[in-house]
A and B are shown apart, each in its own frame.
Chain A
Amino acid sequence: DAKTTQPTSMDCAEGRAANLPCNHSTISGNEYVYWYRQIHSQGPQYIIHGLKNNETNEMASLIITEDRKSSTLILPHATLRDTAVYYCIVRPPNRGGATNKLIFGTGTLLAVQP
């Protein structure tokens, strides 16, 4: 079972920031928070991941609370092409074993409106 909970769906106006929340209250100290998205049946696309500190890359920012029990993915200027299902996943660091698999929940369907 997925160790995260996300809202089923969200709307966002084009050009505005999209803030997608994720709860992971049972996260362990060494587990990373990963975000992927899937645009209409395409392969999942990696967005960003973090451990404790906030992270930013060319696609998004990841804000992790101090207690690490929740996080928020921020798309600063959403476009229509950002409409997708967004998955928040927690996973321990790779030690070459069976814990490497990604467990996908149901994710959040983000609909960017024109």
Chain B
Amino acid sequence: NAGVMQNPRHLVRRRGQEARLRCSPMKGHSHVYWYRQLPEEGLKFMVYLQKENIIDESGMPKERFSAEFPKEGPSILRIQQVVRGDSAAYFCASSPGTARDTQYFGPGTRLTVL
């Protein structure tokens, strides 16, 4: 029973490049969440998606960041024109969408912007 999968685990980009982070939820889970953890800081919610829908993006920076969860395939967090301040660990979580919903986290993608 595979858990939440994230890839790549480590990603290095130069300033101005694009970063694409992928998240495959646990089997049977239709809800995906993205969180960011800046160096020496806590985990912050970014966005909550269900299949083909963004439910809550209140934690997403206004520019350069976008997320999708298509009908087929993994969820993608996309960061355009990365800057050094985007260097962080990005964690994806998934849940089944029941009332007693529990989010299970993946191992994270560590983004380093040079």
Give residues in A with beta carbon < 8 Å to B: 32, 34, 36, 38, 41-46, 49, 93-98, 100-107
> Most chain-A Cβ atoms within 10 A of its Cβ — which of B42, B45, B56, B91?
B42
| Contact digits for B98-114, partner A, Cβ 8 Å, 1 yes 0 no | 11111111111000000
Q: Contact at B89–A44, with CB atoms within 8 Å?
A: no
The interface bits of chain B over 55-86 (1 if a CB of A lies within 8 angstroms of the residue's CB, else 0) are 11011000000000000000000000000000
The contact of B56 among A45, A97, A103, A105, by CB within 8 Å, is A97
B residues lining the A interface (CB < 8 Å): 4, 31, 33, 35, 42-45, 48, 50, 55-56, 58-59, 89, 91, 93, 95, 97-108
- Known contacts A41-B108, A97-B56; can you find 12 more A-B pairs with CB under 8 A? A43-B91, A43-B107, A45-B105, A94-B95, A94-B97, A94-B98, A94-B99, A100-B31, A100-B55, A100-B101, A104-B42, A107-B42
The secondary structure that dominates the A interface is: loop
Report the bound CA distance from A2 to B106 in whole Å: 22
List the 10 closest pairs (A to B, CB-CB), nearest first. Answer: A94-B101, A43-B105, A98-B56, A101-B45, A104-B43, A44-B105, A93-B99, A43-B107, A104-B42, A43-B108
* Chain B residue at smallest Cβ distance from A105: B42
Assembly CA distance A33 to B45 (angstroms): 18
